[in-house]
Amino acid sequence: MTTAEFDSVRSLAGVHADPGVYEPQQDSLLLCDVAAESGLVSGARVLDMCTGSGAVAITAALLGARDVMAFDISPRAVACAQRNARSVGVDVDVRLGSFSDAAEVEPFDVLLCNPPYVPSENAPTGMGVHRAWDAGEDGRVVLDPLCTRGAELLVPGGVILVVHSEFSGPQRTREMLGAHGFGVSDAARRTIDFGPVMMSRAEWLETRGLLEPGRRTEELVVLRGDKR
């Protein structure tokens, strides 16, 4: 499949989330579209962190990556992503693990990540589906480690693409990636209506002054970091 032919919705029609696993949504599709449009993936060694259903890793394989590895801390997500890759007919090495585990293998050309990023009143615990979005009070439980450890997962000149919300500090991501050896640019922005999770947090976000009263939309941001 060439980049020109890629359609994220059509290509991921065979990807399904098991109970307790994040269903591919607007953020997943946006990251997949950016990966396709960037032209970075074909022939590259690609890492997908926080893979969930495997949608982003499967996209990388469909786009012609020479090698795709994916990690998630949820055994249920790992099993789901493995099944989805087999169903779609692509080769993705899905493993249980975190950034530390990913750092133990050969560095990658491209790192893709749709991490948990929704601000939550309490620190995320357990292994329920909420771990796919709950990310602590500032939404950065996973984003901060991604920024600090991303460089060690990439070859020189490697690229990171990460999607997150306006409510989880894109400017902090820019600053942290910049401080850890990346040149940073905006790859895409998309405004979407709140889904059920964000609707449930709306009043709390309003009380914290992060959301204008009555607004029920958010801007998704994909940032690109080029390792110097």
pLDDT tens digits for range 5-23:
677 777 788 899 999 999 9
- Share of residues in the chain with pLDDT > 90 (%): 87
Count: domains in the chain: 1
Domain that holds residue 124: 3-227
Note the pTM of the prediction, 2 decimals.
0.94
Is-contact 199 113, C-beta < 8 A? Answer: no
Please check the confidence at residue 89 and state whether its pLDDT lies above 70.
yes
Single-letter code of the amino acid located at 138: D
Is-contact 170 145, C-beta < 8 A? Answer: no
Of 6, 22, 19, 17, give the one whose Cα is nearest residue 59. Answer: 6
- At 169, which CATH number? 3.40.50.150
SS3 content of the chain, % helix, strand, coil (to 5): 40, 25, 35
Of 133, 9, 32, 150, give the one whose Cα is nearest residue 74. Answer: 133
